[in-house]
Amino acid sequence: MKVLIVHAHNEPGSFNAALKDQAVAQMRAAGHEVEVSDLYAMNWNPVASAADFGSRANPDYLVYALEQRHNYEAGTLAADIVAEIDKVRRCDLLILNFPMYWFSVPAILKGWIDRVLISGVFYGGRRIYDRGGMQGKRAMAVVTLGGREHMFGADAIHGDIGTMLRPLLQGSLAYCGFEVLPPFVGYHVPYIGDEARREVLAQHAAHLRAVDTLTPLSMPAMADFDDQLRPLQG
């Protein structure tokens, strides 16, 4: 199996970095090929702009998704984007490794999603969800939080963690055709001691070992909707 880990933390000594390093070591020990995109170390540009395009289908008005498609086909898409697209297309499993910021992903990871998951390759028209460009591939989020586990749930103060992650898990990964595995969540990690951190690392290692047996999250299936994407009746 080929694994791509996209890592988004600005501190090399962080617990997120420890999770990333453990995933690399464990996956390689199991015989898998592993690539890492360390976004801060790469000085990744998160800003989606006209500078991403070496040519323009419409020089007068920027429709970013349409220019993504045009420039990829023309071979004029920015080189940093093409390199990341190639990594994703090579992988069988994509792991996004990041700390939760404001109920969302860090800006640098959001910018990776905006610039890399391009129209025409990852999605387009009715090529979404189980018909998306990445069908046959799997994806998983590895997330750390400052909050305690009891703060997340149906009746908890912050709500359900799945709802919080829905824009990423459904709106980005599943939308592009990935089979989305249950996320791994490390709670309260900035505030726990070494023993508790070792326990989170052990839980993470077990989650990775189970990657081939985890039940994917339920996502929309295109066969359940009509040509206007309305639910089929009965």
The one-letter code for the residue type at 165 is L
Decide if pLDDT at 132 tops 70: yes
Residue 143: Cβ-neighbour burial (10 angstroms; 0-12, 13-18, 19+): buried
Predicted confidence at residue 76, as pLDDT, reads 98
Q: What is the pLDDT of residue 234?
A: 63
Q: What kind of architecture, by CATH, is found in domain 2-224?
A: 3-Layer(aba) Sandwich (3.40)
- How many Å apart are CA 81 and CA 175, to the nearest integer? 19
Determine the average pLDDT of the residues in 167-189. 96
pLDDT in tens, 22-54: 999 999 999 999 999 999 999 999 999 999 999
Among the ranges 147-156, 163-172, 186-195, which has the highest mean pLDDT value?
A: 163-172
CA dihedral (62, 105, 171, 221) positive or negative: positive
SS3 per residue for 16-57: HHHHHHHHHHHHHHCCCEEEEEECCCCCCCCCCCHHHECCCC
pLDDT band with cut points at 50, 70 and 90 for residue 190: confident
Q: What is the pLDDT of residue 124?
A: 93
Give the chain's mean pLDDT.
Answer: 95
DSSP 133: T
**Global pTM exceeds 0.85:** yes
